[in-house]
Amino acid sequence: MFQTFEVTARPEQGPPRLEALRGELMAEGLDGFLIPRADAHQGEYVAAHDERLSWLTGFTGSAGFCVALREIAGVFIDGRYRTQVKDQVADVYTPVPWPDVTLTAWLKTQLPQGGRVGFDPWLHSAGQIKAARADLDGTGIELVDCANLVDRVWAGQPAPPMEPAKAHPLEFAGESAAEKCTRLGRDLRKAGHAAAVITLPDSIMWLLNIRGADIPRNPVAHGFAILHADGQVDLFMAPSKLEGLGDHLSAGVRVHAPDQFLGAVEALEGCVRVDMGTLPDIVATKLSGQIDDAGDPCALPKARKNAAEIAGSAEAHLRDGAALVEVLAWLDQQPPGSISETQVVSHLEACRRVDNALQDISFETIAGTGPNGAIMHYRVTEETDSTLQDGHLLVLDSGGQYLDGTTDVTRTVAIGTVGEAEKRAFTRVLKGMISLSMLQWPVGLAGRDIECIARAPLWAAGQDFNHGVGHGVGAYLSVHEGPQRLARTSHVPIEPGMILSNEPGYYREGAFGIRIENLVVAQEAPALADADPERAMLNWKTLTFAPIDRRLIVVDTLTFSERNWLNDYHRQVAEHIGPRVGSATRMWLDAATAPI
């Protein structure tokens, strides 16, 4: 069980907390301090102990940071959170659109005479600090590593998590930890690397076939690792987390206390492989030899799911789909105005927990009705809980962490009679999702090369959305997994075995939101009759099976191929999910998946 702490500032708490932080600025002779949403492991999600940004400002998004200066405090948020931030932070904070406005550009504007801005070197990557310092060169603005000033003023800060880790069975991993370490060690030797420093928790979990519970909804344990070219691993993790894993961890894994990590890094000789984008700045300063910024050696092997991982994920999606269909059928029986967002969330989580393989949900369920659906990463609270009213669209985004796979699915559902503008927008989103699902593309293309396929129908109507089309997904690991993404900034080629989300959307602030999401796995495409024999192609296999609300589709705007894809998909939904649900739900499902 995870303990509950007050880690989010209410609006009235923002001013005194900021004032206390500014007192520390004065005491340290600093003009500002950087507060990222990050921990020493540079993962996307953080434990309660590391929720400094939320505790200080009230902002609960999964990405962003604050720059607290003596006279102004900016909260930097990307396009997903520009609506949310307005409701969460006090007036003493100024929302800053990021990355449209960069950290260094903002600092140059706010500190024209220069100044000293402090940062915790554990919470910022070496690449971030190096780039920022280069951009600030000659401005008189200095980035100064220092103790964490938020920790000094955070009374009652939760302790770092110390949850026990467990073995991840070989039947789901598909490859032993010893085999992974040997294989990656061989890759290091070929590249001339003596060792690799690994700080991302999901990489360590994947490499050693263990799972943890230090982060809610993410089965990871905090720690650091050094993988050597001979396949040996030095693991720096609290020994209490590893009790009972002696038989699982191979003889090639040496366990050390976390406080020995920096000393071990300092003692490394030869060329060391790192990922400067995630390596904490303080760790980079301890590396005295040659550094090769070749990236986390686990990232791509982890992203290329093996046959066991793909099979497990496919099976997890079938059980997860059955739970979701039970909820969709139940939801369809509730009159408009009779239930609230929290009731939907509770019922969905209860249906998922019928499956004994469920370990946790994979993220906090999003159930946003009406205007709340326009908040892309909306989380219902007691204050925001809303009733599903006639004419609303409900955005229901959820997932589960199962022993054999991680799921993430979004459906947008009509509540009562929905307007034509909503239906037209929904159909455009659906057309984009279908177009990407049907896509076949040459090997070597990256997410940036193909993500526009899902946006094209919206672009044709002068519409768009401010999030990526898709993210990577782990195998009973993080629901957001790199390095692959379907995004304009992703240069990583899509490879067979990579699981990604396909989730275009549309959001009209103050009115409604729409998102449709399936998970898909990349695979080799079969050769076509007229194909170039030397040109290998890839396509997608869909993993998610749940009906798409036919009431929201403007059918006559679908092309022949789009209609065929939808009818075939719904046939598969009925075929795969029908036998897994109750008789009443099966009747509902048959109607929901009828051909159009």
Q: What is the DSSP string of 180-241?
A: HHHHHHHHHHHHT-SEEEE--HHHHHHHHTEE--SBTTB-----EEEEETTS-EEEE--GGG
Return the CATH superfamily for domain 166-302.
Creatinase/prolidase N-terminal domain (3.40.350.10)
CATH number of 304-589: 3.90.230.10
Q: Which residues pair with 501 in a beta bridge?
A: 519
Residue 3's pLDDT band, with cuts at 50, 70 and 90, is very low
Domain boundaries, the chain: 11-153, 166-302, 304-589
The string of pLDDT tens digits covering residues 43-62 is 888 999 999 999 999 888 87
Give the percent of the chain with pLDDT over 70. 99
φ, ψ of residue 396 to 5 degrees: the values are -120, 105
φ, ψ of residue 19 to 5 degrees: the values are -65, -40
Q: Examine the pLDDT at 4 and tell me if it is beyond 70.
A: no
- State the residue for tokens 């009731």: 343
Residue 483's pLDDT band, with cuts at 50, 70 and 90, is very high
Architecture of the domain defined by 11-153: 3-Layer(aba) Sandwich (3.40)
Gap between the Cα atoms of 409 and 439, Å rounded: 20
Gap between the Cα atoms of 365 and 324, Å rounded: 12
The string of pLDDT tens digits covering residues 60-82 is 887 899 999 999 999 998 877 77
Q: CA angle 266-272-274, nearest 5°?
A: 100
Residue 245's pLDDT band, with cuts at 50, 70 and 90, is very high
Give the percent of the chain with pLDDT over 90. 88
Q: What is the pLDDT of residue 149?
A: 98
Q: Are 217 and 45 in contact (CB under 8 A)?
A: yes
Q: Examine the pLDDT at 205 and tell me if it is beyond 80.
A: yes
Gap between the Cα atoms of 13 and 36, Å rounded: 19
Would 11-153 and 166-302 be classified into the same CATH topology? yes
CA 34 from centre of chain:
22
Q: What is the pLDDT of residue 6?
A: 60
From residue 593, give the alpha-carbon distance in Å to each of 379, 410, 488, 571: 29, 17, 33, 7
Residue 361's Cβ-side half-sphere holds a number of Cα atoms within 13 Å equal to 19
The string of pLDDT tens digits covering residues 362-406 is 999 999 999 999 999 899 998 899 999 999 999 999 999 999 999
Q: Examine the pLDDT at 502 and tell me if it is beyond 90.
A: yes
Helix (H) and strand (E) counts for the chain? 19, 28
